[in-house]
Structure 1
Amino acid sequence: MLLAGAHLRRFVRRRVERDPVRYRSLHEDLVAVNMGVTLDRYLLRAYLVSVLFGVLWAVLAFLAMRLAVFPRVSVGVYNVFAIRLPGFELTDTWIDLLQVAASAVIFVLTAYSAYIFFLYYPSILKKSRATRINLLLHNVVSYMYAMRQGGTEMMEVFRAISANPAVYGEAAHEFRRVVRDADYFGCDQITALRHLQETTPSEKLREFVEDLISVVESGGDILAFLDVRVRIYQEDARFEQKTFLSTLQMAAEVYVTLFVAGPLFIIIVMVVLGLMSSTPLMELSIVIYLLVPLGSLFFLLAIDAVSIKTEPVERYASMKWLHEFDDVRVEERSGDEPYFQRLERYDRVRKIRSFLHHPLQAFLVEPNRTFYVTVPVALAYVALTVLATPAYPDTEILIDVLDDHLVVGLLIILIPFGVFHWFWQKRVMELEAEIPEFLNRLSGINQVGLTLAQAIVLLVKADLGVLTYEIRKIKRDIEWGASFQEALVRFEERIRTPTIARTVTLITTASRMTGNISEVLSIAARDAAISENLKRERRAEMFIYTAIVYLVFIVFLFVVAVIDLQFLSVLADVSVLVADAGTGPVPIGNTPLITFERLLYHGCIIQAFFSGLIAGQMGEASLRAGVKHAAVMLIIAFVVFTVFL
Structure 2
Amino acid sequence: MVRSRRSRRGGMESFYRLCSISYRIFGRGVNRNDLSGLSLSLKRARINIPADLYLSLSRLAGALFALFGAILGVLLIYALFPASGDIFLILLTVLSGSVTATFFYLLTVRAFMAYPVFRANTRRILIDKGLLHAINYLYAMSKGGMSLIDAFNSLKKHEAVYGESAKEIGYIARDVEYFGLDLRSALMRGSKNTPSEKMRDFLEGLISVMNTGGSLEDYFSLKSRQYQDLAEGENSTFLEVLSVLAETYVTLFVAAPLFLITIIIVLGMLKSGTLLILSAVVYIIIPLGTSLFILLLDTITTRTDEEAPSFVRIKRLNVFDNVRLVERESEGIIPALKRYEQIERIKFFLHSPFRFFIEKPSRCFYVTLPLASAYLLSILQPAWEIPDGFDRNLFYTALILLIPYSILFEIRAKRIREIDGVVPEFLRRLKTLNETGLNLVECIRVIIRSNLGVLTSELLRVARSIEWGSTLEDAFQKLEVRVKTGALSRAITLLVDADRATGNLRDVLAVAASNAEIAQRLRERRRAAMSIYLLIVYITFAVFLVTIYILTTKFLGSMPEIPIKGAERFLSSDYNLKAYERVLFHGSLLQGFFSGIVGGQMSSGNPYSGIKHAVLMMIAAFLVFELVIWG
Fold shared per TM-score above 0.5: yes
Paired-residue identity, %: 35
Contact 1:587–1:593 (8 Å) recurs in 2:
no
Q: Which runs of 5+ in 1 are unaligned?
A: 70-90, 329-342, 392-397
Aligned residue for 1:325, secondary structure, equals helix
Which residue number in structure 2 is paired with residue 112 of structure 1? 106
1:89-108 paired onto structure 2 within 5 Å: 94=88, 101=95, 104-108=98-102
Distance 1:317 1:201 in 2: 22
Alignment partner of 1:600 is 2:584: yes
Q: How high is the TM-score relative to the length of structure 1? A: 0.83
Alignment partner of 1:16 is 2:31: yes
Contact 1:616–1:622 (8 Å) recurs in 2:
yes
AA aligned opposite 1:32: R
Which residue number in structure 1 is paired with residue 351 of structure 2? 354
Of 525, 529, 537 in structure 1, the residue corresponding to residue 525 of structure 2 is 537
Aligned residue for 2:330, secondary structure, equals coil
Which residue number in structure 1 is paired with residue 135 of structure 2? 141
AA aligned opposite 2:415: R
AA aligned opposite 1:574: E
Change (3 A) 1:8 1:317: closer
Which residue number in structure 2 is paired with residue 333 of structure 1? none
Q: 1:491-527: per-residue Cα shift (whole Å, max 9, x none)?
A: 1111111221111101111111233312211211121
Distance 1:574 1:536 in 2: 56
Aligned residues: 591
Alignment partner of 1:279 is 2:294: no
Alignment partner of 1:501 is 2:489: yes
Alignment partner of 1:482 is 2:442: no
AA aligned opposite 2:311: R
Over the aligned positions, Cα root-mean-square deviation in angstroms equals 3.4
AA aligned opposite 1:428: I
Aligned residue for 1:305, secondary structure, equals helix
Contact 1:149–1:223 (8 Å) recurs in 2:
yes
Contact 2:600–2:609 (8 Å) recurs in 1:
yes
Which residue number in structure 1 is paired with residue 191 of structure 2? 197
AA aligned opposite 2:38: L
Q: 1:131-152: per-residue Cα shift (whole Å, max 9, x none)?
A: 1111111211222123223332
Alignment partner of 1:550 is 2:534: no
Distance 1:554 1:479 in 2: 57
Change (3 A) 1:279 1:111: same
Contact 1:279–1:591 (8 Å) recurs in 2:
no
Which residue number in structure 2 is paired with residue 132 of structure 1? 126
Q: 1:11-40: per-residue Cα shift (whole Å, max 9, x none)?
A: 4543433xx34x422221111011122212
Q: How high is the TM-score relative to the length of structure 2? A: 0.85
Distance 1:591 1:62 in 2: 44
Change (3 A) 1:287 1:65: farther
Distance 1:552 1:122 in 2: 40
Of 304, 311, 316 in structure 1, the residue corresponding to residue 312 of structure 2 is 316
Which residue number in structure 2 is paired with residue 612 of structure 1? 596
Which residue number in structure 2 is paired with residue 422 of structure 1? 410
Of 304, 325, 330 in structure 1, the residue corresponding to residue 298 of structure 2 is 304
| 1:401 positional shift | 2.0
1:74-473 paired onto structure 2 within 5 Å: 94=88, 101=95, 104-309=98-303, 312-316=308-312, 325=330, 351=348, 353-355=350-352, 359-388=353-382, 391=385, 398=386, 400-473=388-461
Moved more, 420-429 or 596-605: 596-605
Change (3 A) 1:102 1:590: farther
Contact 1:9–1:40 (8 Å) recurs in 2:
no
Moved more, 587-596 or 370-379: 587-596
Larger radius of gyration: 1
Distance 2:571 2:19 in 1: 64
Alignment partner of 1:33 is 2:17: no
Distance 1:545 1:534 in 2: 18
Which residue number in structure 2 is paired with residue 88 of structure 1? none
Which residue number in structure 2 is paired with residue 335 of structure 1? none
Aligned residue for 1:276, secondary structure, equals coil
1:628-639 paired onto structure 2 within 5 Å: 628-639=612-623
Change (3 A) 1:51 1:587: farther
Contact 2:406–2:611 (8 Å) recurs in 1:
yes
AA aligned opposite 1:43: L
Change (3 A) 1:230 1:47: same
Contact 1:244–1:308 (8 Å) recurs in 2:
no
Q: 1:35-71: per-residue Cα shift (whole Å, max 9, x none)?
A: 12221232233334345445556655665666569xx
AA aligned opposite 2:160: A
Alignment partner of 1:621 is 2:605: yes
Distance 1:109 1:204 in 2: 38
AA aligned opposite 1:509: D
Distance 1:543 1:351 in 2: 37
Aligned residue for 2:530, secondary structure, equals helix
Q: 1:344-395: per-residue Cα shift (whole Å, max 9, x none)?
A: 999889635523xxx333223321221111111111111221225674xxxx
| 1:440 positional shift | 0.7
| 1:620 positional shift | 0.8
Contact 1:288–1:603 (8 Å) recurs in 2:
yes
Change (3 A) 1:411 1:466: same
| 1:461 positional shift | 2.1
AA aligned opposite 1:158: F
Q: Which runs of 5+ in 2 are unaligned?
A: 1-16, 316-326, 334-339
| 1:462 positional shift | 1.9
Which residue number in structure 1 is paired with residue 13 of structure 2? none
Distance 1:427 1:97 in 2: 69
Aligned residue for 1:570, secondary structure, equals coil
Of 513, 524, 527 in structure 1, the residue corresponding to residue 501 of structure 2 is 513
| 1:476 positional shift | 1.8
Distance 1:11 1:317 in 2: 36
Which residue number in structure 2 is paired with residue 643 of structure 1? 627
Distance 1:115 1:267 in 2: 42
| 1:110 positional shift | 4.8
Change (3 A) 1:6 1:493: closer
AA aligned opposite 1:443: K
Contact 1:460–1:471 (8 Å) recurs in 2:
yes
Moved more, 530-539 or 512-521: 512-521
Alignment partner of 1:526 is 2:510: no
AA aligned opposite 1:33: A
Contact 1:609–1:633 (8 Å) recurs in 2:
yes
Q: 1:166-225: per-residue Cα shift (whole Å, max 9, x none)?
A: 122212221222222223322111111111111011111111111112222322222222
Distance 1:347 1:99 in 2: 64
Contact 2:307–2:484 (8 Å) recurs in 1:
no
Distance 1:281 1:67 in 2: 31
| 1:419 positional shift | 1.0
Change (3 A) 1:123 1:346: closer
Distance 1:145 1:491 in 2: 24
AA aligned opposite 1:408: Y
